[in-house]
Amino acid sequence: MDVWQSNRITTAVEALRRPLKLHFIPFLAAGHMTPLCEMARSFAAYGHHVTIITTALNAISLENDVHLDIAAGHCINIHTLQFPSEEVGLPDGVENLTAVTDNDSLLKVCRAATSLLQKSFEDFVLQNPPDCLVADFMYPWAHDLAARLGIPRLVFNSFCVFSVCVMESIKKNPITGQDPHAFTIPDLPLPITMNIRPPIPFLKAIDKPLELEAKSYGLLVNNFVELDGVFVEHYNKITGHKVWHIGPTALIHRTEEETAKGTHKNEPCMSWLESRKPDSVIYICFGSSGTLPDNQLYEIACAMESCGHSFIWVVPGKDEAEKEEEKERWLPKGFEERMMKEEKGLILRGWAPQVKILGHAAVGGFMTHCGWNSVVESVGAGVPMVTWPLHSDQFYNEKLVTQVQGVGVEVGVEEWGVWVLDERKKTVKRDRIEKAVRRLMDEGEEGEEMRRRARELGEKAREAVKEGGSSHENLKTLIRELQETRDSKLVNAT
C-alpha cells in the first residue's frame, strides 16, 4: 500500500469518528420554529455540530437557550441572514408570522421566507455543506438542495402523523360538493367523522409540500408514538416513508424543577394559581396569533361568568391602558373587576407562560385552538381540552383529541379558516361555550374520565422523552442511521 492510499484510509477513519454536522432551517413562525429548534438542541446535546439558520430578529428569541447549550459544552451555532424587509414591503421588526396583524403582511412574511430568502439559505449551505439538512416542510426547494449535495434531507412537519394520514386520505378521495353535513374520512384504521369540510385553498396550499415531503429521507414530528397510536403504522403502510417521533419537545429540555407542578411563583399568574384547588381552573388561549373578534370574546366572557368556573384567559392584541368604552366592546361592563374581586378569573393581555400554566396542579382544562404545539403541551401536562379550532390542520387535531384519544370536548365550530388571521363570520354563542366547559369541568363522570385519560397520556409523554422512552430511542436510532449513511459514503469514496 503506497503512502497516498494509506493517508486516504487514515483520513477516512478519522472522518468516521467525527460528530455529525447538521443544518436546521426553521420556518419563520413561532409554532414551527420553537419545536424544530428544541430538536436541534437535542442533537447538539449528543455531541453533534448543529447550525440553526434564520434571520437576525428570530435569532434573538433563540439566543438564551443556545447560550445555555454552549455553556454546557454543546456545539450549537446560529447563522443569521438579512430579512428582505424593503423588498417585500414590510417595516423593520417584522420577521415572523407572530408579529403580523393582517393577512397581507402574513403573505409577505411567507413570500420572504419561502422564496426571497431561498438563495441566501442555499448559498450558506453550499459553502458550508453539512452531513444532513433538516428543513421545515414549508421549504420545498430544500429537496433539490440536499440532492445537489448528495446528503439526506429530513423534513420537519408541524403536523401530527394522524393529521397527515387524514390529509392523505382526503387527497386520494377528493371531497365533492358542498354538503355541510357530517361525513366520515375513508381508508383510516378508525372511523373519523368531520362536521365541516376543509377549504379548497388549504388543500391546495399543502399539496406540493406534502408531495415533496414524501420524497425526503424521513419526517420529524413533535410528538410521541403513543399519542398518534395506530396511525403511525397506518402512515408507514400507506406511504412507506420513515417517520421519527421526537417529542414532546416542550418536555425534553425542562429540568425537574421547571416541570414540577406548583413551583413557579415568579409570574403573577402562577402566584394566583397557588390559591386555587386542584383541577379547578380552565386555561383559555388561542395561540400567539389566534385573535378573535370582539363579539366572540364577549360571548366567551359571558359563558365563563355564567358557568362559574375559575379561569385564566389569554387575550392577545389588547392593551392594559385601553379606555373603558373600548373594553366594553369585548367584555361585559365591570366583568374584569367582578372576576378579580371574586377571585374567579384572571385576564392576561399578550404573552403567557403556557407550559408552566398547564403544568400547574390547579389547571384542570384547556380551551384551545388545537394548534399542534398547544395540543401536545396540554397532553404532556395531562390536561384535557375544550377544542375550538380556527384554521388549517387544527380541525384534524381536534379529532385526534376528541374521537381518537377521548381527552376533549368539541365546542362545535362551524367555520374553517384558510389563514390564521382570516375574519370570523360565524360566532360561537355563549350557551354552546358554557355547555362544553361544563362537560369538561363539572364534577361528573364524563369530565373525570377525560381527566383520567389525559393523566395517563401525560405520563406516557414524560416517559417518552426519558432514557429508554420511545422518543429518546427514536432520536438515538436516527442519529445512528445518519452516521451510517455518512460513513458508508466516506468508505465508498476511498
- Active site positions, annotated: 32, 136
C-alpha cell at 171: 387527497
User: Which of these, 415, 424, 363, 423, lies nearest to 394 by C-alpha position?
Assistant: 415
Question: Chain-centre distance of CA 364, in angstroms?
Answer: 21
How many residues are recorded in the chain? Answer: 494
Contacts of 253 (CB under 8 A, 6+ apart): 38, 41, 42, 65
Separation between Cα atoms, residue 297 and residue 190, nearest integer Å:
35
C-alpha cell at 135: 428543513
Separation between Cα atoms, residue 298 and residue 318, nearest integer Å:
13
Contacts of 460 (CB under 8 A, 6+ apart): 224, 226, 227
Residue 243 phi, psi dihedral angles, 5° rounding: -140, 135
Separation between Cα atoms, residue 59 and residue 40, nearest integer Å:
14
For Cα atoms 456, 462, 467, give the angle at the middle one, nearest 5 degrees: 130
Among all chains, which residue has been given the C-alpha cell 385601553? 322
